[in-house]
């Protein structure tokens, strides 16, 4: 069994605000109990672990047809012809559909975000004349069940004219082979930004280190693959779509745009969703096709992707090539950072320049970087399209600065800890304007936090363990190393979220929000906020999420934004509900609101205990004159939230096998006001595990013909519990200044520095064994470790003696 040592709060960092509500006049809003900040288990868990969850695959309607997809077997080819006649003759097959059958529907699908910075290359639901990656949909089959549909897919004949694929980023940028001929280039867009003197400042540095850094391509691999079920209710004239999505309202917008239906005639429901991690964002061909066919045929249509399709047809991320220069003074202080990078977009750009731009604005990390120049180019390749995966550019930006600091420290003869100490932004510099800019146009200005304090608490937790670990491992012939890294999690930049609080006649409350969860625990955390703001038992609040028919407006769950946006909206709606119920009670009891107190689900006249009403009785009185008792609020934060953090890990390297074992992993994170520390711990640890996977195990590999080489869990390695270290968390709490509750994001915190910190620790372990090494690419596999040992003149055979 792997262990979790626990989490520690740094006390007294900021006065907890919001524990007591304040209202008009002198009315007491004391609630007797506080739910915000409590470690509560998720209310979702009992249902899910008993198999009572309802996922897309569990949705079935009478007369339902099952859709299966014919996918390209070539990375780059022209489609000469498609013959579905044999499939049509197969038992139970209802139809075979190609691009020609879709008519005007087969046009470019909308981007998942608004991005006017370049002309996107957008995918159509089915490839018409040309395929650009292995797995691209070229036709669909409808049949009575999944087995018949899959069998029929094998009988659809596609005549291809193979074309030369382009896989390598540099080769693609050279434009020898064009993927989108009409564009005239594989470079689809670009960006540059200068802070201070930019690259020119390198001339004033005492040392300039240069590296080419490569981050491997990875697949998000949520537990539940993508899926969709659509049906058309002809009587109501409503298209109802059950979709495994992170944004029900975003998906509704895509369907409205593609199908030409009025918004009120489309309902999207996100049922239980088994993981998202960013890959369940945006418009996918299968979603559009299932909805269109259900609408056209008048029969429900279902598609449930399998694990192979998750590898072949779900957006991937990370892959980029960075050419970096870091200028420093002799004492290690940063003079300038320059990064020119190529972002692999895959064959299309479903999420615009989001990944590249987020990478660019995270390059400074937690450090004072007075001069910076960054430019990127968006490059098309014959691979699966790129979209967000947990972190969505944040890990890449921090990977660059953290790796370059390690390189500079080694060249200067400084410790990797010390060079970070000398460059961290001090608390007296807050608010600190980085000179970088959000996509919204708002400046990136860190508002609160004590970065050096957080870093020193990390160092203090790990340094005493290092020598003990080294002594113990040394006796067994293994090498031990320590890595550290810092970060700032930029979260919740742009958009809004809403919440509706509805009072029920039995004294309970429903909360509706468009921010659907995929395992985060929103039904618990939002209930904690509402229960505290109302002053009612936690058990009396039920959260309903991800249904566009229940709340008209919403954005979704991504970018560590839900508690910042939906949490504040829920707080405001609950506060308004409390005020409405107090006003109604005052009228019923014939007293002023100021004379009331609310306690234990009862509203009573102060000093007259017998003159009281239960909350349910107040609601019942209101329902005599109105249809519902509900309040609604929408919240949009100005700018972003900025949560500092530090990671440190002690690793062991076995020189005989090249294997890496992670021993102690300590994380510091400033999440502002944390609603539920137990769930916060889970989010941070889970994200760190995914980052460890990128650092040591995961990479989607392609051969020169663009064929993916590892599309099963036998050859695409994911980290498991057996490989994980002991985790320890230290929570800092500096309130965000851009939202009343002081919430900050934390869902992506764990993954941001974890790639860099693991690579640094492995290098330190090798150095302890006399092997100098610098890893400029992920993942660091045993083969990479052996190569470093051989280059350093140490063979693994000799080291194991």
Query: 572 is written with which tokens?
Result: 């405001």
Q: Which of 155-159, 316-320, 597-601 comes out lowest in average pLDDT?
A: 597-601
| Lowest-pLDDT range of 2-6, 104-108, 183-187, 638-642 | 2-6
Which residue would you say has higher pLDDT here, 56 or 20? 56
Q: Kindly report, residue by residue over 724-765, the tens digit of the pLDDT.
A: 999 999 999 999 999 999 999 999 999 999 999 999 999 999
Over 84-146, what HEC string results?
A: CHHHHCCCCEEEEEEHHHHHHHCCCCCCCCCCCCCCCCCCCCCCCCEECCCCCEEEEEEECCH
Q: What pLDDT score does 704 carry?
A: 97
**pLDDT tens per residue across span 452-474:** 999 999 999 999 999 999 999 99
Question: Cis omega before residue 380 (within 30°)?
Answer: no
> pLDDT at residue 604 above 70?
yes
| Res 13 pLDDT > 50 | no
Structural tokens at position 136: 């691209």
- Residue 82, pLDDT > 80, answer yes
HSE of 759, CA atoms in CB hemisphere, 13 A = 31
C-alpha–C-alpha distance, residues 497 and 745, integer Å: 14
pLDDT of residue 18: 32
DSSP 8-state assignment for residue 233? E
Backbone angles phi, psi at 392, to 5 degrees: 45, 50
Domains with residue ranges and CATH for the chain: 1-17+445-489+642-801 (3.30.365.10), 31-54+495-635 (3.30.365.10), 61-163+221-313 (3.90.1170.50), 165-219+315-423 (3.30.365.10)
pLDDT of the residue at 17: 37
| Residue % of the chain over a pLDDT of 70 | 95
Predicted local confidence at residue 27, as pLDDT: 30
Distance between CA atoms of residues 95 and 68, nearest Å = 11
pTM: 0.95
Distance of alpha carbon 120 from alpha carbon 774, whole angstroms: 36
**Which phi-psi region, left, alpha or beta, contains residue 78 (left: φ > 0; alpha: ψ -120 to 50)?**
beta
C-alpha distances out from residue 546 to 249, 512, 517, 556, 779, Å: 8, 8, 8, 8, 36
Q: What is the mean predicted confidence (pLDDT) over 243-259?
A: 98
> How far is residue 534's CA from residue 543's CA, in Å, rounded to a whole number?
14
Give me the pLDDT at residue 33, please: 65
User: What's the pLDDT score for residue 123?
Assistant: 98
Confidence band for 793, pLDDT divided at 50, 70 and 90: low
> What spatial distance separates the first Cα and last Cα of the chain, rounded to whole Å?
31
Residue 341 scores a pLDDT above 80: yes
Query: CA geometry: angle at 222 spanning 221 and 227, to 5°?
Result: 105
Tell me what the pLDDT averaged over the chain comes to.
Answer: 94
The per-residue pLDDT for 272 is 96
């Amino acid at each position: 069994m792997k262990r979790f040592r626990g989490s520690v709060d740094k006390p007294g960092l900021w006065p907890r605000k919001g524990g007591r509500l304040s209202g008009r006049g002198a009315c007491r809003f004391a609630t007797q109990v506080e739910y915000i900040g409590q470690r509560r288990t998720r209310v979702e868990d009992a249902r899910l672990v008993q198999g009572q969850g309802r996922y897309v695959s569990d949705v079935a309607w009478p007369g339902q047809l099952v859709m299966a997809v014919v996918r390209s077997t070539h990375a780059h080819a022209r489609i000469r012809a498609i013959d579905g006649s044999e499939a049509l003759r197969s038992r139970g097959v209802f139809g075979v559909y190609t691009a020609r059958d879709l008519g005007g529907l087969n046009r470019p699908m909308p981007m998942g975000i608004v991005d006017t910075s370049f002309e996107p290359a957008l995918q159509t639901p089915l490839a018409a004349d040309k395929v650009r990656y292995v797995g691209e949909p070229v036709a669909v089959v409808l049949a009575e069940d999944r087995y018949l549909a899959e069998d029929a897919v094998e009988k659809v004949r596609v005549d291809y004219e193979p074309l030369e694929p382009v896989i390598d980023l540099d080769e693609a940028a050279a434009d020898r082979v064009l993927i989108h001929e009409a564009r005239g280039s594989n470079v689809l867009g670009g960006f540059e930004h200068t802070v201070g003197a930019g690259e020119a400042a390198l001339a004033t540095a005492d040392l300039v280190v240069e590296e080419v850094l490569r981050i491997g391509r990875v697949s998000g691999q949520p537990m539940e693959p993508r899926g969709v079920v659509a049906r058309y209710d002809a009587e109501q004239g409503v298209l109802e779509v059950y979709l495994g999505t992170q944004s029900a309202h975003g998906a509704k917008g895509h369907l409205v745009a593609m199908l030409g239906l009025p918004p009120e005639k489309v309902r999207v429901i996100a049922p239980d969703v088994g993981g998202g991690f960013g890959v369940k964002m945006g418009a996918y061909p299968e979603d559009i096709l299932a909805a269109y066919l259900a609408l056209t045929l008048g029969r429900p249509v279902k598609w449930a992707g399998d694990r192979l399709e998750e590898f072949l047809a779900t957006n991937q991320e990370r892959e980029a090539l960075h050419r970096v220069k870091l200028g420093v003074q002799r004492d290690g202080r940063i003079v300038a950072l320059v990064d020119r990078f190529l972002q692999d977009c895959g064959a299309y750009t479903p999420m615009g320049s989001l990944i590249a731009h987020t990478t660019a604005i995270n390059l400074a990390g937690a450090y004072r970087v007075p001069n910076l120049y960054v430019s990127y180019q968006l490059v098309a390749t014959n691979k699966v399209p790129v979209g967000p995966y947990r972190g969505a550019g944040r890990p890449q930006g921090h990977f660059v600065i953290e790796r370059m600091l390690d390189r500079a420290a080694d060249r200067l003869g400084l410790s990797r800890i010390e060079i970070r100490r000398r460059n961290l932004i001090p608390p007296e510099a807050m608010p600190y304007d980085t000179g970088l800019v959000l996509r919204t146009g708002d400046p990136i200005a860190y508002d609160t936090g004590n970065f050096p304090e957080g870093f020193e608490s990390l160092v203090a937790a790990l340094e005493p363990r290092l020598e003990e670990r080294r002594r113990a491992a040394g006796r067994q012939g293994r090498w031990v190393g320590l890595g550290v890294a810092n970060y700032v999690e930029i979260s919740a930049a742009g958009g809004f979220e809403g919440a509706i609080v509805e009072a029920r006649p039995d004294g309970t409350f429903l909360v509706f929000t468009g921010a659907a969860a995929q395992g985060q625990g929103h039904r618990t955390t939002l209930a904690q906020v509402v229960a505290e703001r109302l002053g009612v038992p936690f058990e009396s609040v039920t959260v309903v999420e991800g249904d566009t028919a229940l709340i008209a407006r919403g954005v979704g769950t991504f970018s560590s934004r839900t508690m910042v946006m939906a949490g504040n909206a829920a707080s405001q709606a609950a506060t308004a509900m409390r005020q409405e119920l107090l006003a109604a009670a005052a009228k019923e009891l014939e007293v002023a609101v100021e004379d009331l107190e609310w306690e234990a689900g009862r509203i009573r006249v102060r000093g007259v205990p017998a003159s009281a009403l239960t909350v349910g009785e107040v609601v019942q009185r209101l329902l005599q004159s109105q249809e519902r008792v509900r309040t609604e609020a929408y919240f949009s934060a100005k700018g972003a939230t900025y949560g500092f953090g530090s990671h440190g890990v002690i690793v062991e390297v076995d020189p005989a096998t090249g294997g890496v074992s992670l021993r102690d992993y300590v994380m510091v994170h400033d999440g502002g006001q944390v609603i539920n520390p137990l769930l916060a711990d889970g989010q941070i640890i889970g994200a760190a595990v995914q980052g460890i996977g990128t650092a040591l195990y995961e990479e989607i590999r392609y051969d020169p013909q663009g064929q993916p080489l590892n599309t099963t869990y036998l050859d695409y390695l994911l980290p498991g519990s057996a490989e994980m270290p002991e985790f320890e968390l230290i929570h800092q709490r500096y309130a965000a200044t851009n939202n009343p509750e002081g919430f900050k994001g934390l869902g992506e915190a764990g993954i941001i520095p974890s790639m860099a910190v693991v690579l640094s620790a492995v290098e330190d372990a090798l150095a302890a064994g006399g092997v100098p090494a610098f890893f400029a690419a992920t993942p660091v596999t045993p083969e990479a470790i052996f190569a470093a040992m051989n280059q350093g003149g140490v063979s693994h055979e000799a080291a194991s003696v």
